[in-house]
Amino acid sequence: MKNKRKIINDPVFGFISIPNEDIYDVIQHRYFQRLNRIKQLGISSFVYPGAQHTRFQHSLGAMFLTSEAIKELRLKGHEITQNEASSVMSAILLHDIGHGPYSHLLESTIIQEVSHEKISEILIEKINDELNGTLDLAIKIFKNQYPKKFLHQLISSQLDMDRMDYLRRDSFFTGVVEGEIGSARIIKMLDVFEDKLVIEQKGIHSIENFLMARRFMYWQVYLHKTSIAAEMMLIKILRRAKAMSFAGETLFASPSLQFFLSNEINADNFLKNDEIIEHFVEIDDSDIISAIKVWARHSDTVLSVLSKNFSERILFKAEESERMTEDKEMELRKKYAAHFAVNQQDADYFFEQKEINNNTYDLEDDNINIVFSDGSVKDISQVSDILNPEILNHGIRKNYLCFLKI
Amino acid sequence: MKNKRKIINDPVFGFISIPNEDIYDVIQHRYFQRLNRIKQLGISSFVYPGAQHTRFQHSLGAMFLTSEAIKELRLKGHEITQNEASSVMSAILLHDIGHGPYSHLLESTIIQEVSHEKISEILIEKINDELNGTLDLAIKIFKNQYPKKFLHQLISSQLDMDRMDYLRRDSFFTGVVEGEIGSARIIKMLDVFEDKLVIEQKGIHSIENFLMARRFMYWQVYLHKTSIAAEMMLIKILRRAKAMSFAGETLFASPSLQFFLSNEINADNFLKNDEIIEHFVEIDDSDIISAIKVWARHSDTVLSVLSKNFSERILFKAEESERMTEDKEMELRKKYAAHFAVNQQDADYFFEQKEINNNTYDLEDDNINIVFSDGSVKDISQVSDILNPEILNHGIRKNYLCFLKI
Amino acid sequence: MKNKRKIINDPVFGFISIPNEDIYDVIQHRYFQRLNRIKQLGISSFVYPGAQHTRFQHSLGAMFLTSEAIKELRLKGHEITQNEASSVMSAILLHDIGHGPYSHLLESTIIQEVSHEKISEILIEKINDELNGTLDLAIKIFKNQYPKKFLHQLISSQLDMDRMDYLRRDSFFTGVVEGEIGSARIIKMLDVFEDKLVIEQKGIHSIENFLMARRFMYWQVYLHKTSIAAEMMLIKILRRAKAMSFAGETLFASPSLQFFLSNEINADNFLKNDEIIEHFVEIDDSDIISAIKVWARHSDTVLSVLSKNFSERILFKAEESERMTEDKEMELRKKYAAHFAVNQQDADYFFEQKEINNNTYDLEDDNINIVFSDGSVKDISQVSDILNPEILNHGIRKNYLCFLKI
Amino acid sequence: MKNKRKIINDPVFGFISIPNEDIYDVIQHRYFQRLNRIKQLGISSFVYPGAQHTRFQHSLGAMFLTSEAIKELRLKGHEITQNEASSVMSAILLHDIGHGPYSHLLESTIIQEVSHEKISEILIEKINDELNGTLDLAIKIFKNQYPKKFLHQLISSQLDMDRMDYLRRDSFFTGVVEGEIGSARIIKMLDVFEDKLVIEQKGIHSIENFLMARRFMYWQVYLHKTSIAAEMMLIKILRRAKAMSFAGETLFASPSLQFFLSNEINADNFLKNDEIIEHFVEIDDSDIISAIKVWARHSDTVLSVLSKNFSERILFKAEESERMTEDKEMELRKKYAAHFAVNQQDADYFFEQKEINNNTYDLEDDNINIVFSDGSVKDISQVSDILNPEILNHGIRKNYLCFLKI
């Protein structure tokens, strides 16, 4: 850092200091810089125009909260070495490095079955190679292969600094104040018990509040009807583009997006093929958005109708409903086929059902453990009196019919 | 207003305009101005030093939110005349006018059995007399004697603007961010159905969030252990002072506080006796605080020990516990009697049990009704899937033992 | 609006209501929707990663503040009809409609000599045609052809709601709290005098504060050295791309960006040629960003070096300096030519001088007039005792040398 | 601290940790606890009802900012030992310990010529005695007798953490957002040069902004016309009460306030007489407020009229004016004497002139030094181009006539 301490202005947490040169090098890496071209909430800016914040900012914020958590745990007597601290911070910085643009959509369209977690692992290894192994320990912690398991939990668990940051940040930028969580208070309540992150007894209400705020953000933002509909529309567009590319059509797209449209990518070849990786890190929100605007003028009815509407924010409509019967489905298919003069198979591009599931708290994931003054440790779903454990653990399912209004 | 529009700077809501001359006169009235000498949260500033805000500010804030709610309801087609609007605003401004200093404590010590609601009614009538009847309609609404019942609900119900303001304001000044409620969103969701305030279906999660935030504020602020202990200590001090005054001792106190210490005040004489009222509106936080500092040097052990400790913030300790057995109680009594060389009766001033009850939502009070798109109306406790209805409706009881550490 | 009142969540001002159907139609127009793909601060997100907010949000915010200003002026007795109010709001919504991506850069590269103000006028006329003339009055106000001149000043003057919003908003999203202006207080101080917007005497300090905050934002954000350097780099890239296109090379670009790269566009043909307009409204940030990433792999050294560095945030460095002598310039030219093995003409792409000028307050623009209690009106630069009128009126010039570090 | 880390919730800075047991003992001391009964802004809550915050909170906030400044200076390589750090924090915690209620008023009425700074020194010595000398170093730093002079500057200079906190805090609680200073940025710009606190060159605009925000707070809050008038009214009341007490009248007052009303207190006897000190630490806002309400019913016209009006917020009016001629003064005197049927000497209690002086920046005080990259150091008033150095250094004087409206 050539004797310069770097500080980044963050509207959520104020000034964020970059703690050392190794971390500075990670942030400067082109794989990390590209996160500043990928919106954290993808399509949500259609509903919340303030939600333009990027994965870059989120990753820095998560690093900041991790440094706060480390300070707290050290004050409570838990040893965390300089190297461990720096490595956890690198690991959380990089936890989202495998996200592509509109990540969850990509994963169900052009790069099927390859999870962003898996891609993260590959990219971190590559960065580590370039940085001469400074990330060795970070990788161990990231993969949960390091003895002090609680360090991994800071980056991935029900209490990780990832969700502490994203809830506060998404709440801040959407303007949905109800999502405000008391991240500072929760961090003050953190402790380690038998190598696991736990929350002190007096923090029970903070955790209840955190789970409710998270639930609120799910319904109000992440699973907002209009967002679901817009996502479905984008999925349809990308599927159509991929189908056309496979059929030999050359659509306008940046070379790397082109590559994903015209090749079968799966978990198997993705991991083994450097060319795929190199194309992957080239694409960001701009490639998708820029291409769709061009596709709006394509001669293919399906592609152009969907793309034009999407670009002009004439989105699918989402209606909560029972699962469609086959009869109903056929009826819709015929309606769209007739309206747009396309065949029945292509008519399917204009509507889709989507089941969503809001798990406020997922037992299959890690637990949130509360440590009591008598030394016992219990799961929050057992000790909260106000939250319905049935719902807390099993979530809510809803079925939506998404369709283009005609 | 002599051609001047009055605007008051409020750190919570920005600028609050005083809408007309009648309301300006209410705010200028000496009964209302005294609220600027009475802290909203009484004793809580011992725990949250930021919580110095007064009932004056809260009343203005509640008036502001009421004006917002009126705007919203009018937009939804509900007729509210200028006079009705002004009267609801006057009514909410005055809803707390009957509070004395450390109100809940006074009510259980020096002015037994007279509720602040009843006092409010009397004081509003008196102000109305002075203002030549401009509050006639406000009084009808306040007493729920006006046909449009929903107007009364704006000032007193589960969804009233009183709690909308106090939750936001108390959260703001204590710094307990988890108490932040989405008051603006809730107001946007307000509607009137069969002359009752209801919440639109899509506001269910906002209401759940509101109830949880309220619950959080109860545990974290209003029923904070240290606050309960400090309150108990203040009750003991005032009871001792009253007992001594009744026994003929003249303690230092402002004449009006003096009056309450040396006279039996109850619901019966309070309401009929103008002298009592005149003394009541003279006392505020300063009379209590100023007197207790002087009592710290009194020769009576009980009074001076409690007063000195209270003034120096050496507060009772509160411990959650089972209800004391009589044996345990006698044991404590003997201990304190021996320690302070007082008789056993007086020893009781040094400890007390206190049962508290946190009702997140009280069915006995009004309901929070949700109106569905099919026109049906249901209580929130029936339609929330996440909140445990048992707890929601019956609350939590805890027993505390409060005592002076020796 | 089909009986639906639209409300938009804004992190800066809370809920923003869309006041009527005409304005709703403007917001839904594809020309307006594209503003949600154009960042308000362009390149600044390289320095302030939070600054991802778009011209869409800014325009809505400015509309909101205009509605507040209208309320205030009406309270002060100035008549503003419903139609005038709606038209001013439409006009300010559309005031930035002529901006392209990285607007100031485009104006000095691919669409030379066509100001965004002029483009705005054209686009507003086109929208008005589609909306059957609902914008007739808005256009008159926008062009300052309407008798009530103060309405135009709300959308364009030293006190316009445009800068009230952008200062607050840019301050909010960059996290530069010093740019916070008291927009609410300034609006409360607004008045109209002889058909001009003026500020009441007691608002002098608010205006001084506003001018200082604006100045601060200029130095800290708008004219931040690193932003200037990044802008210069982007200008160089676009100039190179245009030069190559003119020389017959076909670069990767969306068709509309392509069009601008390969055609001479000037004020003259822009205004007369619908094809140009249609291409113009197609391009946004994504076209530029997406293309530059592809250009990073081009065989042309100048284009690829600049594009690759830009994409990876290896930006030009800016150093404050005297204007270069010709000798110094030649020296640099030779250095870069040698380093990159390009001819001396092409070497000029790697460095440039840039003079910037921070006019806190520009007399050539409108004045900020203060109205005194004796009825006299004076310019703020005459009545402020603290601000140096010399600097206030003439600004500061600085010369920067921007160059690629080698 | 019995193994407990103490944390205090602060609405301005979030959680403030008490760093060690010595500092905890200072905060628990009764002299310090009394600051929680003394409002930071005294009379200003008449104008800004939110401004109820106390000197207790301000002192904690200043301690917090000092800890931030220490972190920053250490990062820049300046050695500050644990003991030095703890002592500076104790010193700033205690810097305002000598303030009484409505401090500046008391100093010009009942305890003439004894500055709060001098009282602070005495009280700190007394606390140090009780705490067995843990404050020895803090006292040296406080008195500027410690070699590292820059440590003293953190607690008392143009850049001290005292004003960093009070500007932010007063801005926060009054709701005057324009007073918001970038305290975090200024602290990041702090450095030490030749044993003096300096600001890095790039911080010039932050300092300009800080001086302007401070100036704004002076005009809008500290020197608000209504506050000046209310202060003058309170001075008159206390002077009358003192005059009557000296004349043998026994007014209602707490014993300690009584003591100050009936004894001549000056710098000489104050410092030597423990009894005076003991009375001094007993009085706070409540003694003044409580007494004035009682005085409102006194038979003395001057005392009762002023006290009644003050209690009901019927304040003096302040009008900016030339200094009164003797003729004008005599005229007023006669008018009030006639109106209230008092003698001409007593009529003087109903009006007064007051000259105020707003020094944005006082060269007689410390300088604010800017250190340039070439190592030179210059005063901000020499290097700011925008701020008028004449005004910056000499301030503005205004004359007000304050009087009771009759």
Do A15 and D184 count as a contact with CB atoms less than 8 A apart?
A: yes
Cβ atoms of residues A31 and A48 within 8 Å: no
What percentage of chain A exceeds 90 in pLDDT? 78
CB-CB neighbors (< 8 A) of B188 in chain C: 7, 15
- Say which DSSP state D40 is in: T
CB-CB neighbors (< 8 A) of A184 in chain D: 14-15
Give the ranges where C218-273 is alpha helix by DSSP (H).
225-246, 255-262, 267-272
Q: What does the pLDDT look like over A25-46, one tens digit per residue?
A: 999 999 999 999 999 999 999 9
Contacts of B80 (CB under 8 A, 6+ apart): B70, B73, B74, B88, B148, B151
- Whole-angstrom distance, CA of residue D183 vs CA of residue A359: 41
DSSP string, D325-346: PHHHHHHHHHHHHHHHT--HHH
pLDDT at C220 over 70: yes
Q: What is the pLDDT of residue B361?
A: 67
CB-CB neighbors (< 8 A) of D64 in chain B: none
| Helix, strand, or coil (residue A38) | coil
Q: What does the pLDDT look like over C78-125, one tens digit per residue?
A: 999 999 999 999 999 999 999 999 987 777 777 777 788 888 999 999
Contacts of D187 (CB under 8 A, 6+ apart): D65, D68, D69, D72, D164
Q: What does the pLDDT look like over A232-244, one tens digit per residue?
A: 999 999 999 999 9
- Distance set, CA B1 to CA B304, D44, D98 (Å): 49, 22, 42
| Helix, strand, or coil (residue D144) | coil
- Whole-angstrom distance, CA of residue D285 vs CA of residue D42: 8
| Helix, strand, or coil (residue B250) | coil
Other C-beta atoms lying within 10 Å of the C-beta of residue C67: 19
Do C188 and B14 count as a contact with CB atoms less than 8 A apart?
A: no
Chain A, nearest residue to C39 by Cα = A52
pLDDT at A327 over 60: yes
Residues 227-266 of A with CB under 8 A from C: 252, 254-255
Q: Is D188 on the interface with A (CB under 8 A)?
A: yes
The answer, as to whether pTM is greater than 0.90, is yes
The candidate with the shortest Cα–Cα distance to D209, out of D231, D189, D239, is D189
| Helix, strand, or coil (residue B147) | coil
The candidate with the shortest Cα–Cα distance to C392, out of C371, C370, C372, C364, is C364
Q: Is B188 on the interface with C (CB under 8 A)?
A: yes
Q: What angle do CA D172, C63, A54 make, to 5 degrees?
A: 70
Report the phi/psi class of residue B212: left, alpha or beta, with left for phi > 0 and alpha for psi in -120 to 50.
alpha
End-to-end CA distance of chain B: 58
- Whole-angstrom distance, CA of residue C68 vs CA of residue A24: 45
Q: Of the candidates C181, C185, C215, which has its C-beta nearest D386's C-beta?
A: C215
Q: What does the pLDDT look like over D198-217, one tens digit per residue?
A: 999 989 999 999 998 998 99
Q: Is C185 on the interface with B (CB under 8 A)?
A: yes
End-to-end CA distance of chain D: 58
Cβ atoms of residues B281 and B34 within 8 Å: yes
Contacts 24+ apart (CB under 8 A), B346-351: B346/B301, B346/B302, B349/B236, B349/B239, B349/B240, B349/B302, B349/B306, B350/B236, B350/B302, B350/B305, B350/B306, B350/B403, B350/B404, B350/B406, B351/B316, B351/B401, B351/B402, B351/B403, B351/B404
Distance from the Cα of C4 to chain B's closest Cα (Å) equals 10
Predicted ipTM of the assembly:
0.94
Residues facing B401 on adjacent strands: B319, B353
Do C396 and D387 count as a contact with CB atoms less than 8 A apart?
A: no
The candidate with the shortest Cα–Cα distance to A270, out of A105, A57, A111, is A111
Q: Of the candidates C15, C184, C188, which has its C-beta nearest B184's C-beta?
A: C15
Q: What does the pLDDT look like over A88-126, one tens digit per residue?
A: 999 999 999 999 999 877 777 777 777 788 889 999 999
Domains of chain D listed by start with CATH number: 7-94+135-223 (1.10.3210.10), 225-356 (1.20.1250.30)
Q: Is C74 on the interface with B (CB under 8 A)?
A: no
The token pair at C405 is 């570090």
The token pair at B395 is 């609350």
Other C-beta atoms lying within 10 Å of the C-beta of residue B268: 11
The size of the B-C interface in CB pairs under 8 A is: 12
Distance from the Cα of C348 to chain D's closest Cα (Å) equals 30
CB-CB neighbors (< 8 A) of B7 in chain C: 188
Q: What is the pLDDT of residue B271?
A: 76
Q: What is the pLDDT of residue D360?
A: 64
Residue D28, classified by CB atoms within 10 Å of its CB into exposed (0-12), middle (13-18) or buried (19+), is middle
The token pair at A330 is 């056929």
Cβ atoms of residues B183 and A169 within 8 Å: no
Supply the mean pLDDT for chain D: 92
Q: Which of A5, A13, A16, A73 to mutate to test the interface with D (most CBs of D within 10 A)?
A: A5
pLDDT per residue of chain B (406 residues) written in tens, 0 to 9: 344 568 999 999 999 999 999 999 999 999 999 999 999 999 999 999 999 999 999 999 999 999 999 999 999 999 999 999 999 999 999 999 999 999 877 777 777 777 888 889 999 999 999 999 999 999 999 999 999 999 999 999 999 999 999 999 999 999 999 888 889 999 999 999 999 999 999 899 999 999 989 989 998 999 999 999 999 999 999 999 999 999 999 999 999 999 999 998 887 888 788 899 999 999 999 999 999 999 999 999 999 999 999 999 999 999 999 999 999 999 999 999 999 999 999 999 999 999 988 776 665 566 889 999 888 999 888 888 778 777 776 777 889 999 999 9
CB-CB neighbors (< 8 A) of D7 in chain A: 188
Q: Is D1 on the interface with A (CB under 8 A)?
A: no
Counting every residue, how long is chain D? Answer: 406
The size of the A-D interface in CB pairs under 8 A is: 12
Distance from the Cα of B189 to chain C's closest Cα (Å) equals 12
- DSSP E strands in B255-390: the ranges are 317-320, 351-358, 369-371, 377-379
The count of C-alpha atoms lying within 13 angstroms of the C-alpha of A144, restricted to the half-sphere facing its C-beta, is 10
Q: Is D405 on the interface with B (CB under 8 A)?
A: no
Do B15 and C185 count as a contact with CB atoms less than 8 A apart?
A: yes
Do D178 and C176 count as a contact with CB atoms less than 8 A apart?
A: no
Q: What does the pLDDT look like over C60-69, one tens digit per residue?
A: 999 999 999 9
Q: Of the candidates B180, B220, B388, which has its C-beta nearest A385's C-beta?
A: B388
Q: Is B381 on the interface with A (CB under 8 A)?
A: no
Distance from the Cα of D152 to chain A's closest Cα (Å) equals 26
Q: What is the pLDDT of residue C3?
A: 44
Q: Is D382 on the interface with C (CB under 8 A)?
A: no
The token pair at A203 is 């923090």
Contacts 24+ apart (CB under 8 A), B363-366: B363/B393, B365/B157, B365/B158, B366/B153, B366/B157, B366/B158, B366/B159
Confidence of residue A2 (pLDDT cuts 50, 70, 90): very low
Q: Which of B172, B212, B224 to mutate to test the interface with A (most CBs of A within 10 A)?
A: B212
Q: Is D7 on the interface with A (CB under 8 A)?
A: yes
Do B30 and D311 count as a contact with CB atoms less than 8 A apart?
A: yes
Counting every residue, how long is chain A? Answer: 406
Q: Is B358 on the interface with D (CB under 8 A)?
A: no
Do D10 and B252 count as a contact with CB atoms less than 8 A apart?
A: no
Q: What is the pLDDT of residue D3?
A: 44
Q: What does the pLDDT look like over C231-282, one tens digit per residue?
A: 999 999 999 999 999 999 999 999 999 999 999 888 788 878 889 999 999 9
Supply the mean pLDDT for chain C: 92
Task: Specify the amino acid at residue B346.
Answer: D
Residue A365, classified by CB atoms within 10 Å of its CB into exposed (0-12), middle (13-18) or buried (19+), is exposed
Q: What does the pLDDT look like over C327-338, one tens digit per residue?
A: 999 999 999 999
What percentage of chain D exceeds 90 in pLDDT? 78
pLDDT at D392 over 50: yes
CB-CB neighbors (< 8 A) of D213 in chain C: 209
- Say which DSSP state D360 is in: S
Contacts of D341 (CB under 8 A, 6+ apart): D301
- Whole-angstrom distance, CA of residue A186 vs CA of residue A184: 6
Q: Are strands D196-200 and D369-371 parallel, antiparallel or unpaired?
A: parallel
- Whole-angstrom distance, CA of residue D218 vs CA of residue D222: 5
